[in-house]
Amino acid sequence: MVLGINIHRLLAPLDALVGAISSWADDASWRHRARRRPRHIVLIRHGESEANLDTSLHQSVADHRIALSDKGWEQAREAGAKLRREIAGNGRVVWYCSPLLRTRQTLQGLLEGGGWDASVEDVRQDPRLREQEWGNFQDPEEIRAAMSERHEYGHFYYRFPRGESGADCYDRCDSFVGSLRFCFGVLMD
């Protein structure tokens, strides 16, 4: 009490008003996200890459610059045609890919193969979707030694030199899924 005035009693209506406004804002935000929720979320991996054919590329080409092989382009176009049959005209689609060249090329092939317009609006790149990093310019001897050490240490927790562990990848992906939930509301039960 200050000067005979119960401050809590005086502020109670204001607290109730702030609570009501906050609740309304949360509800409005949820409704907005639910309206914007896509019918389909497509997470894009990649087709066959040049490094799938020649693993020595990892010694001289940065991982994010490795391109699709001709077969990888063909795989992407075929997948795009199949995906188009499954989801065309069935609500909003949001496309996600990593910034890796081969993944962006796969997205391009999917869109071409499915006959999607090049102006597809909901295409998003997210670096959390990239592959596990095994280190920069991978020396075959270092990789063999790391694989042996990984076997002894444990596959999930072993962190590759200048790379990351399976646990690191898990954390990235978990963060990505959390972002989907935040952006679009509850996605899965």
Residues 120 and 45 grouped into a single domain: yes
46 has binding-site annotation: yes
Q: How far apart are the first and last CA of the chain?
A: 49
pLDDT band of 182, cuts 50, 70, 90? confident
45 has binding-site annotation: yes
In a domain, 185, yes or no: yes
pLDDT band of 16, cuts 50, 70, 90? confident
pLDDT(145) > 80: yes
pLDDT(142) > 60: yes
Say which residue, 24 or 66, is predicted with more confidence.
66
Query: Coil, strand, or helix at residue 16?
Result: helix
Residues 116 and 143 grouped into a single domain: no
The rounded distance, in Å, linking the Cα atoms of 93 and 87 is 8
Query: In sequence order, what are the residues at sequence separation of 6 or more whose Cβ sits closer than 8 angstroms to the Cβ of residue 29?
Result: none
Question: What's the total number of domains in the chain?
Answer: 2
Mean pLDDT across 64-73: 97
Residues 68 and 80 grouped into a single domain: yes
Set 131, 133, 151, 164: catalytic member: 131
Determine whether 133 is an active site residue: no
Residues 92 and 158 grouped into a single domain: no
pLDDT(172) > 90: yes
Which of the listed residues 130, 145, 170 is the one where a domain comes to its end? 130
Residues 102 and 141 grouped into a single domain: no
- Residue 138, class by beta-carbon neighbours within 10 Å (0-12 exposed, 13-18 middle, 19+ buried)? buried
* Lowest-confidence segment of 86-90, 101-105, 135-139 by average pLDDT: 135-139
What average pLDDT does the chain have?
A: 84
List the one residue out of 167, 51, 38 whose CA is nearest residue 101: 51
74 has binding-site annotation: no
Range of the domain at 147: 132-189
Residues 103 and 163 grouped into a single domain: no
Residues 121 and 136 grouped into a single domain: no
Mean pLDDT across 135-164: 86
Take residue 89 and report the two structure tokens written for it.
């005209």
In a domain, 69, yes or no: yes
Name the strand (E) or helix (H) holding 71. helix 70-87
pLDDT at 116: 84
The rounded distance, in Å, linking the Cα atoms of 42 and 45 is 10
Residues 42 and 124 grouped into a single domain: yes
Mean pLDDT across 113-120: 78
Residues 123 and 140 grouped into a single domain: no
Which of the listed residues 130, 146, 168 is the one where a domain comes to its end? 130
The rounded distance, in Å, linking the Cα atoms of 175 and 94 is 18
pLDDT band of 171, cuts 50, 70, 90? very high
Residues 150 and 173 grouped into a single domain: yes
In a domain, 19, yes or no: no
**CATH code, 91:** 3.40.50.1240
In a domain, 159, yes or no: yes
Determine whether 64 is an active site residue: no
pLDDT at 168: 94
Q: What is the DSSP string of 120-162?
A: -S-EEE-GGGSPPP--SS--HHHHHHHHHHHHHH-TTTPPPTT
51 has binding-site annotation: yes
Residues 121 and 67 grouped into a single domain: yes
pLDDT at 188: 58
pLDDT at 50: 97
Global pTM?
0.74
